[in-house]
């Protein structure tokens, strides 16, 4: 709660352990514990063992081998969590305990608002060698208000619009990706207007859900929920209310399929012509390809309403509780350099955040057969450069945004509330966070 | 031990038995052994309990009195402020409502279904062991796996159950939007997992019921159903009480099934199925990261479970004393061998019909 710099004391250690034990015992399962880190022996001169904690797929396996060959003194132990949530629970618990973290901890951009409240826990990674390495907004996400950089950017999720060309054609709209990009226009009003046009000649809903679209929209506001000093303005901000009304009006007009993202209905809708367009960060391509296997017609329009947008992406941090911080920083520096990140992209498709990587031949030449051979490298590189606004995310951002998503979902997916009554519930949910 | 200061014991001849003479070292140790050893033998349990049970419990209370952040650690002492804050939250009460609702729906149907299943398994059917093992199969499947499978079946638009309802001409059920609907769906998952387990407990107890009772009933011309109602159920009462108490403790802490019922794990967009334990998790590990409040709710839940447990215990006593004249039923709920052989032997002659009467007596006294 309290933004401050209370460090992990003995109390904190005991607290974390007992609370984990007590509360998790009560919850049954949901264990946040993994094996304790064993790295950290050895001084700065001798052989060093560095532990690196990642989750999902960072595509670093081969890079670790390469680094160990280049630096015979360094042994890298890779701890890979199966899910981001598991990694997050582990990180939080060990931060509170004051020990047990890996020398390098990968974090997702969504965790940063709360981690930035405790800048003392992380090494300041800013240095001349990394100056200008990333697109500006990526650096800004991991920088504290007083200019400390707590994480090196790895990948990003620049957003485009994915659409079903066959459904567009059936509804009498242009289906070629350049034409669609032009028809989609540049604002969300244009996007919804084209949706109305589409719906006039089609039974398929225009978009997956109001919530997913809202999420993209709110990420284009600079101060949606909180002011820089932490004052919560979410419930009074006319911009937020305007987005809420706009997206729910579209939903009321039948543009939304009312499918909450990642639900089973959502997953199976890809096989049933569930919707015609979706907000599409670079990593979503794999998801669509998997869910829509066998479905033909998916394509990508090189445009994004309301300016550019980004969804997701990760960073490498160096916790100050580690014993080999300098060596860890060197490794993190090397891993997030453009040359290495391109290799990770080739290995697992993580879209790089480094300016040089975004302009590299390897990336720009990338295409995807499933999306009608769309030049994905070119499209998303351009989408990454189009991002202008970095939303301010204070400590309460994720709580407020969760409440907002639920508010929209009550109207759009469940149909249990009117926009007005759901807004009132949102207001009281935001108050409860206090 | 102060053995060093003693006079050398071994040289002196063994004294004749008498009070005045001092005990030898061996005798002292032996006396100590008799007195102390039993406590030492059972101490591992209590030491473990103190470390893993009592200490966290007390420490959670300590945490609940502070402003305590998941990452930041201990903050100011705030007294009862956390408790005051959480009981004013609508979500807290909604969690209470959902917890009790899901618990009641699953508990009642589960106990009834398990009774019926156990009665069937207790008959002389073919491939007994196969069926008995079969009912336990769902129990070995991880709850999260059960959740994944059932989520597919309970999907609102393309789910198996809604398709099935469609065939018989019923409209789709909004499993994830409605309050009662979601509770029924979650209770189904819980029952899928636990019914077999409870069935086996009932089956074990049923097999301990003396066959003389059934033979006597048969001579009196009682039907199978009548035998079940008038002999089996009354003789199972202690077991039923045990099952109800354990189900209460488990049911009020239900977490896995509702947590995986949708992808966000917050219990629905209007918290239709958010249970108290999910609320604890959200407070402590969610956006607020407030261990203080999470600990406060944990303690409230703890007290509620104690309260419900006490009510159960009181009911047990009432029921037990209500029919103790006729059947020497054990006062405390015993998990196995519920109907003690002795009780059966004493009661074998007469209680065939009176057992039902005793059942009614008990109901009257408790209401």
d(CA B158, CA B145): 19
- Nearest residue to A284 via CA among A371, A397, A175: A371
Binary contact (A432, B301; C-beta < 8 A): no
Whether the per-residue pLDDT at A15 is higher than 70: the answer is no
- Nearest residue to B191 via CA among B180, B183, B181: B183
Residue B290 pairs in a beta bridge with B69
What is the pLDDT, as a whole number, of residue B14?
52
Binary contact (B52, A7; C-beta < 8 A): no
Top pLDDT among B311 and A381 is at: A381
Q: Given CB atoms, is A117 within the 8 Å cutoff of chain B?
A: yes
Q: Given CB atoms, is A9 within the 8 Å cutoff of chain B?
A: yes
Binary contact (B71, A29; C-beta < 8 A): no
d(CA B235, CA B359): 10
Nearest to B269 among A19, A410, A432 (CB): A410
Mean of all residue pLDDT scores within chain A: 87
Confidence label for B293 from pLDDT (cuts 50, 70 and 90): very high
Whether the per-residue pLDDT at A188 is higher than 90: the answer is yes
Helix axis angle, A397-409 relative to A238-252, nearest 10°?
30
- What is the tens place of the pLDDT at every residue in A71-118? 999 999 999 988 888 898 899 889 988 899 999 999 999 899 889 989
Size of interface A-B (CB pairs under 8 A): 177
Q: Is the Cβ–Cβ distance between B302 and B57 less than 8 Å?
A: yes
Q: Is the Cβ–Cβ distance between A356 and A341 less than 8 Å?
A: no
DSSP B140: G
Least confident of A38-47, A349-358, B321-330, B346-355: B346-355
d(CA B176, CA A412): 13
d(CA A198, CA A235): 33
- What is the tens place of the pLDDT at every residue in A321-371? 999 999 999 999 999 999 999 999 988 889 999 999 999 998 999 999 999
Across B275-285, average pLDDT: 94
Domains (range + CATH), chain A: 38-156+311-381 (3.40.190.10), 158-310+390-432 (3.40.190.10)
d(CA A299, CA A292): 12
What is the pLDDT, as a whole number, of residue B249?
85
Top pLDDT among A36 and A369 is at: A369
Confidence label for B11 from pLDDT (cuts 50, 70 and 90): very low
Whether the per-residue pLDDT at B16 is higher than 90: the answer is no
What is the pLDDT, as a whole number, of residue B240?
85
d(CA A12, CA B300): 23
**Concatenated DSSP letters of A16-85:** HHHHHHHHHHHH-S-----PPP----S-SSS-EEEEEEEES----HHHHHHHHHH-TTEEEEEEEESSHH
Binary contact (A433, B60; C-beta < 8 A): no
Confidence label for B344 from pLDDT (cuts 50, 70 and 90): very low
Across A39-65, average pLDDT: 79
Distance from CA of B62 to the nearest CA of A (A): 10
Helix axis angle, B179-207 relative to B143-153, nearest 10°?
130
Residues B84-366: name the CATH superfamily.
MetI-like (1.10.3720.10)
Binary contact (B70, A28; C-beta < 8 A): no
d(CA A111, CA A118): 12
Top pLDDT among B12 and B68 is at: B68
**Concatenated DSSP letters of A248-302:** HHHHHTT-B----TTSHHHHHHTTTT--SEEEEETTHHHHHHHHTTT---EEEES
- What is the tens place of the pLDDT at every residue in A124-144? 999 888 889 999 999 999 999
Distance from CA of A121 to the nearest CA of B (A): 10
- What is the tens place of the pLDDT at every residue in A230-254? 899 999 999 999 999 999 999 999 9
Cβ neighbours of A22 in B, within 8 Å? 56-57, 59-60, 295, 298
Confidence label for B323 from pLDDT (cuts 50, 70 and 90): low
What is the pLDDT, as a whole number, of residue B322?
53
Confidence label for B326 from pLDDT (cuts 50, 70 and 90): very low
Q: Is the Cβ–Cβ distance between A329 and A317 less than 8 Å?
A: no
Whether the per-residue pLDDT at B348 is higher than 60: the answer is no
Whether the per-residue pLDDT at A12 is higher than 70: the answer is no
Confidence label for B319 from pLDDT (cuts 50, 70 and 90): low
Q: Is the Cβ–Cβ distance between B280 and B190 less than 8 Å?
A: no
Least confident of B107-121, B174-188, B233-247, B279-293: B233-247
Distance from CA of A27 to the nearest CA of B (A): 6
- What is the tens place of the pLDDT at every residue in B34-76? 888 888 998 999 999 988 989 999 999 999 999 998 888 889 9
Confidence label for B312 from pLDDT (cuts 50, 70 and 90): confident
Least confident of A1-15, A99-113, A158-172, A304-318: A1-15
Q: Which residues contact A102 (CB under 8 A, 6 or more apart)?
A: A37, A39, A51, A52, A53, A79, A319, A322
d(CA A108, CA A81): 13
Output the six-digit token pair for B351: 């209680």
Across A60-65, average pLDDT: 93
Domain ranges within chain B, ordered by starting residue: 24-82, 84-366
Confidence label for A42 from pLDDT (cuts 50, 70 and 90): very low
**Reduced 3-state DSSP string for B28-43:** HHHHHHHHHHHHHHHH
Across B314-337, average pLDDT: 52
Binary contact (A2, B288; C-beta < 8 A): no
Binary contact (B73, A96; C-beta < 8 A): yes
Cβ neighbours of B157 in A, within 8 Å? 259, 265, 268-269
Q: Is the Cβ–Cβ distance between B287 and A396 less than 8 Å?
A: yes
Q: Is the Cβ–Cβ distance between B213 and B222 less than 8 Å?
A: no
- What is the tens place of the pLDDT at every residue in A395-417? 889 899 999 999 999 999 999 99
SS3 B68: strand
Binary contact (A413, B266; C-beta < 8 A): no
What is the pLDDT, as a whole number, of residue A72?
93
The alpha carbon torsion through A244, A250, A253, A256 (nearest 10 deg) reads -100
Whether the per-residue pLDDT at B287 is higher than 80: the answer is yes
Q: Which residues contact B289 (CB under 8 A, 6 or more apart)?
A: A1, A92, A114, B69, B70, B71
Confidence label for B366 from pLDDT (cuts 50, 70 and 90): very low
User: How far, in Å, are A104, B10, B133, B146, B239 from residue B196 at the CA level?
Assistant: 47, 65, 9, 14, 15
What is the pLDDT, as a whole number, of residue B354?
38
Top pLDDT among A15 and B54 is at: B54
β-pairing, A152-164 with B73-77?
unpaired
Residue found under tokens 């789709």 = B172
Binary contact (A118, B256; C-beta < 8 A): no
Cβ neighbours of B67 in A, within 8 Å? 1-2
Confidence label for B115 from pLDDT (cuts 50, 70 and 90): very high
Q: Which residues contact B28 (CB under 8 A, 6 or more apart)?
A: none
Please calculate the CA angle A317-A319-A323 and round it to the nearest 5 degrees. Answer: 125
d(CA A45, CA A51): 17
Whether the per-residue pLDDT at A46 is higher than 70: the answer is yes
Whether the per-residue pLDDT at A17 is higher than 80: the answer is no
């Amino acid at each position: 709660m309290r933004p401050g710099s209370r460090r992990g004391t003995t109390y904190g250690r005991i607290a974390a352990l007992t609370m984990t034990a007590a509360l998790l015992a009560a919850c049954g399962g949901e264990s946040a514990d993994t094996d304790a880190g064993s790295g950290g022996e050895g001084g700065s001169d001798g052989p060093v063992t560095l532990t690196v904690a990642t989750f999902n797929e960072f595509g670093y396996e081969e890079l670790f081998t390469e680094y160990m060959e280049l630096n015979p003194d360094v042994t890298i132990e890779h701890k890979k969590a199966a899910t981001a949530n598991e990694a997050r629970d582990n990180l939080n618990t060990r931060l509170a305990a004051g020990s047990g973290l890996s020398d390098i901890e990968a974090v997702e951009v969504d965790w940063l608002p709360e981690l930035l409240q405790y800048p003392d826990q992380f090494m300041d990674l800013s240095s001349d060698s990394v100056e200008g390495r990333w697109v500006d907004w990526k650096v800004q996400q991991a920088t504290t208000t007083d200019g400390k950089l707590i994480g090196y950017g790895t990948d990003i999720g620049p957003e485009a619009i994915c659409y079903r060309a066959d459904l567009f054609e059936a509804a009498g709209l242009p289906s070629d990706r350049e034409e669609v990009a032009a028809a989609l226009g540049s604002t969300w009003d244009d996007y919804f207007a084209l949706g109305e046009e589409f719906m006039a000649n089609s039974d398929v809903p225009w978009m997956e859900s109001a919530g997913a679209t809202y999420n993209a929209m709110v990420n284009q506001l600079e101060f949606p929920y909180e002011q820089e000093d932490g004052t919560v303005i979410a419930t009074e901000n006319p911009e937020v209310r305007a987005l809420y009304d706009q997206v729910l009006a579209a939903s009321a007009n039948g543009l939304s399929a009312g499918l909450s993202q990642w639900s089973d209905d959502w997953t199976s809708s890809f096989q049933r012509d569930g919707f015609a367009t979706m907000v599409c960060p670079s990593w979503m391509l794999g998801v669509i390809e998997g869910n829509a296997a066998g479905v033909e017609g998916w394509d990508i329009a090189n445009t994004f309403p309301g300016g550019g947008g980004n969804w997701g992406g990760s960073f490498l941090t160096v916790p100050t509780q580690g014993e080999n911080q300098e060596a860890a920083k060197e490794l993190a520096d090397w891993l997030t350099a453009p040359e290495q990140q391109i290799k990770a992209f080739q290995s697992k498709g993580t879209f790089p955040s480094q300016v040089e990587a975004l302009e590299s031949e390897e990336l720009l030449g990338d295409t995807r057969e499933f999306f009608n051979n769309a030049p994905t490298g070119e499209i998303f590189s351009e989408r990454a450069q189009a991002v202008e606004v970095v939303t301010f995310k204070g400590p309460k951002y994720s709580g407020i945004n969760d409440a907002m998503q639920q508010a929209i979902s009550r109207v759009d997916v469940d149909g249990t509330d009117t926009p007005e009554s759901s807004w009132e519930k949102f207001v009281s949910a935001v108050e409860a966070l206090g | 031990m102060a053995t060093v200061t003693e006079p050398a014991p071994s040289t002196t001849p063994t004294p004749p038995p008498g009070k005045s003479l001092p005990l030898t070292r061996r005798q002292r140790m032996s006396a100590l052994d008799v007195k102390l050893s039993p406590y030492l033998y059972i101490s591992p349990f209590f030491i473990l309990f103190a470390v893993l049970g009592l200490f966290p419990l007390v420490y959670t209370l300590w945490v609940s009195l502070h402003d305590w952040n998941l990452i930041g650690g201990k903050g100011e002492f705030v007294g009862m402020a956390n408790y005051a804050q959480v009981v004013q939250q609508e979500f807290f009460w909604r969690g209470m409502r959902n917890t009790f609702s899901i618990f009641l729906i699953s508990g009642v149907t589960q106990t009834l279904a398990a009774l019926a299943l156990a009665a069937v398994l207790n008959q002389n059917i073919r491939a007994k062991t196969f069926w008995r093992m079969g009912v336990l199969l769902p129990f070995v499947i991880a709850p999260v796996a059960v959740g994944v499978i059932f989520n597919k079946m309970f999907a609102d638009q393309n789910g198996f159950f809604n398709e099935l309802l469609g065939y018989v001409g019923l409209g789709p059920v909004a499993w994830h939007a409605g309050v009662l609907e979601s509770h029924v769906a979650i209770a189904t998952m819980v029952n899928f997992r636990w019914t077999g387990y409870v069935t086996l407990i009932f089956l074990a107890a049923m097999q301990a019921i003396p066959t003389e009772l059934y033979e006597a009933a048969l001579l009196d011309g009682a039907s199978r159903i009548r035998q079940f109602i008038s002999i089996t159920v009354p003789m199972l009462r202690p077991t039923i009480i045990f099952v109800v108490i354990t189900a209460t403790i488990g049911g009020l802490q239900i977490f896995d099934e509702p947590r995986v019922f949708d992808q966000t794990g917050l219990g629905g967009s209007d918290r239709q199925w958010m249970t108290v334990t999910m609320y604890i998790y959200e407070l402590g590990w969610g956006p607020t990261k407030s261990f203080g409040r999470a600990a406060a709710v944990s303690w409230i839940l703890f007290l509620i479970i104690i309260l419900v447990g006490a009510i159960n215990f009181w009911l047990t006593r009432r029921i037990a004393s209500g029919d103790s004249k006729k059947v020497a039923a054990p006062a405390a709920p015993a998990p196995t061998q519920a109907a003690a052989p002795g009780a059966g032997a004493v009661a074998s002659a007469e209680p065939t019909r009176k057992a039902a009467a005793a059942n009614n007596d008990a109901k009257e006294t408790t209401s």
